[in-house]
Chains A and B, each alone.
Chain A
């Protein structure tokens, strides 16, 4: 009996994960892709995307929900990469250069984002999302109009033919795969980007350590209950801003890692869906708006991208249209986010009701039993 119940609970709690697994496994055959290919893709994508997804953790700890404002960090990272390309700094040095240069920018953007979100308590997510659009406007202004006209650009090859503004697609050959290939390990049919994995591991260690610090503890307390934390003297607003700043900085570095793997960059679009895929991944991995951990990140990346790898080919084979697979994976991404948010909000309300019932006190009076039976 209890075994049955716990199985039911397990199924319910991991419904998303299981659903993903099943769809992916079913899609593998029609996709016609070899398992080796899929596994290699997943290894590559783990290296490419994990860092970005990890950037979401701290704001969740601080009770600010999913940080859709991480896109700001991604834009800062792209800005750094543009400079690295501009000055022709190549290889890992180019990545480091890009990260170092864009760090102050992401700090600033993170501060702005945190401050704005502090004014929108209770609707951080939608505000962060719109803020990303807003900053995107400024990013376009800087990159499309100021660079080459006001901000000097050395390399003419990255400038639009009209004489200013950065071209729509940047070739990142000079830094392409530089981190992934720094310590590439060939093992049978697979190549592991060890250096990238090491960077990700270092970030995981940092997050684990950070949770043990005073600041980490404060973040958790703010995340659970802002009012109580405040009356205990925890500087709530400041803590929230710090959480967002760290997230933004991590997103900045994450985007640089992401793009070095891609090898090219859609100057004005590369960041559009950064937060979408990161958020979808962490939610697929079993996280919620209020709760997330490091395993969620990796499980999420593997599951989401597993589906993404097979869906276009499967769509092509099953429906004769590759676009169906493309649309399907976007639909899945959005639907996962929507469903997770709905489930979370719904559970939170049920939890509130349950707590209220706890206040009912004096349970078991005959009157109540009578009322309950009604």
Chain B
């Protein structure tokens, strides 16, 4: 009833604008996803599994210019990063300073960076890291600042939480 008489040009323009916005929307989701995707890099200073490179005696490595981590031969450490492309700077003790860029595949949460291969310039230095599922840590007894004490039943791990409006059913006597 708003009686909006929309001229054809306007209608076309609106269709285009809305279509573009939809595309932009989806694109934004993708962008947030790719940019914000978190990865864990295992910085590995061991012999490469295929024997292509030997562990380095001592080195210090810095990802994206963060505080360098010192690694002795056979040691591992982790770095948490966001996004795919990263700059890695390795200073090998008494050796060269290697600066390299690595790219982590989008789908991988956990990758292994073989520093010896990186230093040796072998590709790929980054490989997916297959892990067993870590057993979930026990639920922290976190409380919602809003809700404690919770008027509903306290949530029991593993059981369906009770919501207000549905009291915990009395056990049948």
A positions within 8 Å CB-CB of B: 84, 87-94, 96-97, 100-101, 130, 133, 136-137, 140, 144, 154-157, 159-162, 167-169, 171, 174, 233-235, 262, 264-270, 272-274, 277, 323, 326-327, 330
Chain B, 47-88, contact with A by CB distance < 8 Å: what is the 0/1 string? 000000000000000000000000000000000001000000
Q: Of A90, A92, A101, A262, which one neighbours B145 at CB under 8 angstroms?
A: A262
B155 and A157 form a contact (CB under 8 A) = no
Q: Which of chain B's residues has its CB closest to A93's CB?
A: B36
B3 and A233 form a contact (CB under 8 A) = yes
* Cβ distance B130 to chain A, nearest Cβ, rounded Å: 13
A270 and B161 form a contact (CB under 8 A) = no
Q: Of B38, B82, B139, B165, which one neighbours A167 at CB under 8 angstroms?
A: B139
Q: Would you call B23 an interface residue if the criterion is a C-beta within 8 Å of the partner chain's C-beta atoms?
A: no
Q: Would you call B25 an interface residue if the criterion is a C-beta within 8 Å of the partner chain's C-beta atoms?
A: yes
Q: Would you call B163 an interface residue if the criterion is a C-beta within 8 Å of the partner chain's C-beta atoms?
A: yes
Interface residues of B in 113-145 (CB under 8 A from A): 133-134, 136-137, 139-140, 142-145
Q: Of A97, A168, A233, A267, which one neighbours B32 at CB under 8 angstroms?
A: A97
B positions within 8 Å CB-CB of A: 1-3, 25, 28-29, 32-33, 35-39, 82, 109, 133-134, 136-137, 139-140, 142-152, 155-158, 160-161, 163-166
- Contacts known (A89-B37, A262-B145, A266-B142); A101 close to B158, Cβ less than 8 A: no
Q: Of B29, B82, B152, B156, which one neighbours A272 at CB under 8 angstroms?
A: B152
Kindly state the separation between the CA atoms of A83 and B3 in the bound complex, as whole angstroms: 42
Pairs A–B under 8 Å by Cβ, sample size 7: A91-B38, A101-B29, A144-B160, A167-B136, A167-B157, A168-B156, A171-B140
A94 and B149 form a contact (CB under 8 A) = no
A262 and B144 form a contact (CB under 8 A) = yes
B109 and A88 form a contact (CB under 8 A) = yes
Residues of A within 8 A of B157 (CB): 160, 167-168
B136 and A330 form a contact (CB under 8 A) = no
Residues of B within 8 A of A137 (CB): 163
Q: Which of A94, A101, A274 has the most CB of B within 10 A?
A: A94
Q: Of B3, B36, B136, B164, which one neighbours A90 at CB under 8 angstroms?
A: B36
B161 and A168 form a contact (CB under 8 A) = yes
Q: Of A91, A155, A265, A327, which one neighbours B82 at CB under 8 angstroms?
A: A91
Closest 8 CB pairs of A and B: A93-B36, A268-B161, A90-B38, A97-B32, A89-B36, A133-B165, A156-B133, A264-B142
Q: Which of chain A's residues has its CB closest to B26's CB?
A: A100
- Contacts known (A89-B32, A266-B155); A277 close to B146, Cβ less than 8 A: yes
A323 and B149 form a contact (CB under 8 A) = yes
B142 and A161 form a contact (CB under 8 A) = no
Residues of A within 8 A of B36 (CB): 84, 89-94, 96-97
A93 and B152 form a contact (CB under 8 A) = no
Q: Of B148, B156, B163, which one neighbours A133 at CB under 8 angstroms?
A: B163
* Cβ distance B163 to chain A, nearest Cβ, rounded Å: 5
* Cβ distance A42 to chain B, nearest Cβ, rounded Å: 13
* Cβ distance B5 to chain A, nearest Cβ, rounded Å: 14
Kindly state the separation between the CA atoms of A116 and B36 in the bound complex, as whole angstroms: 37
Residues of A within 8 A of B142 (CB): 169, 264, 266
B144 and A97 form a contact (CB under 8 A) = no
Residues of B within 8 A of A93 (CB): 32-33, 35-37, 82
Kindly state the separation between the CA atoms of A268 and B157 in the bound complex, as whole angstroms: 11
Residues of B within 8 A of A133 (CB): 163-166
A269 and B155 form a contact (CB under 8 A) = yes
Kindly state the separation between the CA atoms of A274 and B164 in the bound complex, as whole angstroms: 13
Kindly state the separation between the CA atoms of A154 and B109 in the bound complex, as whole angstroms: 10
* Cβ distance B14 to chain A, nearest Cβ, rounded Å: 16
* Cβ distance B6 to chain A, nearest Cβ, rounded Å: 14
Q: Which of chain A's residues has its CB closest to B1's CB?
A: A233
B139 and A168 form a contact (CB under 8 A) = yes
Residues of A within 8 A of B2 (CB): 233, 235
Residues of B within 8 A of A154 (CB): 109
Kindly state the separation between the CA atoms of A269 and B163 in the bound complex, as whole angstroms: 7
Known: A96-B32, A130-B165, A262-B144. 20 other contacts (CB 8 A): A88-B37, A100-B29, A133-B163, A140-B160, A154-B109, A167-B157, A168-B161, A233-B1, A233-B2, A235-B1, A264-B142, A266-B143, A269-B163, A272-B163, A273-B151, A274-B146, A323-B149, A326-B149, A327-B149, A330-B151
Residues of A within 8 A of B165 (CB): 130, 133
* Cβ distance A161 to chain B, nearest Cβ, rounded Å: 6
Residues of A within 8 A of B37 (CB): 87-90, 93
Q: Which of B25, B39, B155 has the most CB of A within 10 A?
A: B155
